[in-house]
């Protein structure tokens, strides 16, 4: 079910912003979510320059009211068309497990796992009312492969993959599609704040990942996409 309007969380930067831009180029109306109102406005301005209708809901996507507001805005912008979603919000904080703070653990699990549960509860009634729907969750290859100094991140992404697969199994018969999108190492602002040995040229670009996400969300086929793995040419870095 190809959507005419999409909720996009994590739309203020990185992969979420690029996904929004590629959807905008293809005529999809957008309800953009993220914590930073200023950066969401930047994304909305870029999307409007491509001819897309946009609305903004700033706030924590773990807040049920924020997610409901995004779903309502997508329905309004869709003007009777189908609503979909790209769920790209998340955090990545790394460090040795023995010294990792409980606060960072809780915030990582909340942003990367609980937020998807909150999104599902907001979106499923919308999808059911329109006779089906399509949501894509931006996860990570860390949903399948563990890395050192990444206990909270890997745990949250393994859990998120399990949640998305469970949602796909539960709602498939209602025509509701849940896509797990697993990109490999992607150059975003996150890497600029890290002391990482990875070279930018070896990684995926956020623009390429955003394009692949738009392709998946707008795929016209009758079948369902359950899981998409998108890696750099060298594979897992």
For residue 196, the model assigns a pLDDT of: 63
**Radius of gyration (C-alpha) of the chain in whole angstroms:** 17
Residue 201 has pLDDT above 80, yes or no: no
Name residue 138's beta-bridge partners.
Answer: 181
Position 213 pLDDT exceeds 90: yes
Q: How far apart are CA 196 and CA 199, in angstroms?
A: 8
Strand partners, 179: 136
Q: For 51, list phi and psi in degrees, rounded to 5.
A: 95, 5
Per cent of the chain over pLDDT 90 is 84
The pLDDT value recorded for residue 192 is: 65
* Residues in Cβ contact with 207 at an 8 Å cutoff, skipping those fewer than 6 apart: 18
Helix H, strand E, coil C: the string for 194-225 is CCCCCCHHHCEEHHHHHHHHHHHHCCCCCCCC
Domain ranges of the chain: 5-230
7-20 tens-digit pLDDT: 999 999 999 999 99
Query: pLDDT-derived band of residue 145, with 50, 70 and 90 as boundaries?
Result: very high
Q: What is the mean pLDDT of residues 32-38?
A: 95
Given the residues 100, 153, 171, 230, select the one marked as catalytic.
Answer: 153
Residue 100 is among the residues annotated as catalytic for this protein: no
Classify 5-230 by CATH class.
Answer: alpha beta
Is residue 19 within 8 A of residue 33, CB to CB? The reply is no
pLDDT at 195 over 80: no
């Amino acid at each position: 079910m190809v959507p005419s309007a999409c909720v996009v969380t994590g739309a203020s930067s990185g992969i979420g912003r690029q996904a929004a831009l590629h959807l905008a180029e293809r005529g999809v109306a957008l309800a953009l979510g993220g914590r930073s109102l200023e950066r969401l406005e930047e994304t909305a301005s870029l999307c409007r320059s491509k001819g897309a209708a946009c609305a903004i809901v700033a706030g924590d996507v773990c807040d049920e009211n924020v997610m409901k507001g995004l779903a309502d805005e997508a329905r309004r912008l869709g003007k009777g068309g189908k609503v979909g979603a790209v769920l790209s919000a998340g955090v990545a904080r790394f460090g040795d497990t023995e010294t990792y703070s409980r606060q960072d653990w809780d915030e990582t699990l909340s942003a990367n796992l609980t937020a998807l549960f909150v999104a599902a509860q907001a979106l499923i009634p919308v999808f059911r009312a329109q006779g089906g729907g399509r949501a894509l969750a931006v996860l990570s290859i860390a949903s399948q492969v563990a890395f050192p100094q990444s206990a909270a991140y890997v745990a949250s992404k393994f859990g998120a993959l399990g949640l998305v697969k469970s949602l796909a199994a539960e709602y498939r018969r209602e025509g509701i599609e849940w896509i797990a999108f697993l990109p490999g190492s992607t150059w975003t602002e996150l890497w600029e704040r890290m002391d990482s040995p990875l070279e930018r040229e070896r990684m995926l670009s956020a623009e390429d990942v955003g394009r692949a996400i738009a392709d998946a969300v707008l795929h016209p086929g009758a079948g369902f996409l359950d899981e998409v793995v998108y890696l750099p040419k060298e594979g897992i870095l």
